[in-house]
A = this chain, B = another copy of it.
Amino acid sequence: MEYFSSRATVRTFDPARHIAEETLREIVEKAAHAPNTGNMQLYSVVSTRDRGMKAKVSKLHYDQPAAKGADVLLTVCADTRRFDAWCEARDAQSGLNNFGGRLSAVVDASIFAQQIVTIAEMTGIGCCYLGTAMYNADDFCELLHLPEGVIPVVGIAMGYPLHEEAKGSDRLPPDAILHEETYSDYTPADIDRIYKEKESLPESEGFIKENSKSTLAQVYADIRYPAELNKAVGEKMLRQMKAGE
């Protein structure tokens, strides 16, 4: 149980050590025992090992170091296609070709991805989620030959860690996340208390200076996750999630 509090994302991988195909297959097999919607398993994963393909996938992740240096890149997809193909072959009319069905598949894919990460990390493999899979969803579909109903949700960069990573990572206190009986909306005093530790980290001051901002929240809101970016990603994803509706 110690693992859960001390885990940390790994972004630098040992180029001399490789994840065996059999190891990856075992991780996927174990991860598929995670709960999912009605046991329809509305997810798939595409693995990238080929050197040329890795360069292309990494490029779609903006060549961030974790992607560029990964031993294996995974693209975990929401997948209603396999269920649809089953229905087609069995005289049934799939009801998942719509936003609601695709949203269940996004949840399934996320749960499945997290099970892969947990199992991999417990086995000593380092992982880094790549949220950029959604940013370039259309290009991923083209590159990985994803048919309609198969939508990239998250990428995972994997490999054996090059060096011991700093353990743990800063998180909001549990009472910031857990609401008992009903949701208590956050007052400015709550916000001060909840974000105090995060805002007082030495790196936070660095981020503010680097970006010529006056608060850490501005770094997130203006630089890292601005509205235009989220809106553009949302439009792309929504189009795919509604396909065939």
Partner of A100, one of B45, B184, B232: B232
The distance from the CB of A93 to the nearest CB of chain B, in whole angstroms, is 6
* CB of A20 closer than 8 Å to a CB of B: no
Across-interface contacts of A176 in B (CB, < 8 A) = 82
Q: Closest B-chain residue to A37, C-beta based?
A: B131
Partner of A40, one of B98, B104, B146, B220: B220
* CB of A18 closer than 8 Å to a CB of B: no
C-alpha spacing A119/B25, complex, angstroms: 23
C-alpha spacing A179/B145, complex, angstroms: 11
User: CB distance A227 to B95 under 8 Å?
Assistant: yes
The distance from the CB of A169 to the nearest CB of chain B, in whole angstroms, is 7
User: CB distance B1 to A214 under 8 Å?
Assistant: no
Across-interface contacts of A104 in B (CB, < 8 A) = 131, 134, 230
A172-202 contact mask (Cβ, 8 Å, vs B): 1 or 0? 1010111111111110101110110000000
A residues lining the B interface (CB < 8 Å): 1, 4-7, 9, 24-25, 28-35, 37-41, 43-50, 53, 77, 81-83, 85-87, 89-104, 106-107, 110-111, 113-115, 117-119, 122-123, 127, 129, 131, 134, 144-147, 150, 153-154, 168-172, 174, 176-186, 188, 190-192, 194-195, 214-218, 220-222, 224-235, 237-238, 245
Could you list 22 examples of A-B contacts with CB < 8 Å? A5-B29, A28-B174, A35-B114, A38-B224, A39-B170, A44-B178, A47-B178, A50-B181, A53-B181, A85-B190, A85-B191, A90-B217, A90-B218, A91-B217, A95-B228, A96-B230, A100-B234, A101-B225, A104-B131, A106-B106, A111-B111, A111-B114
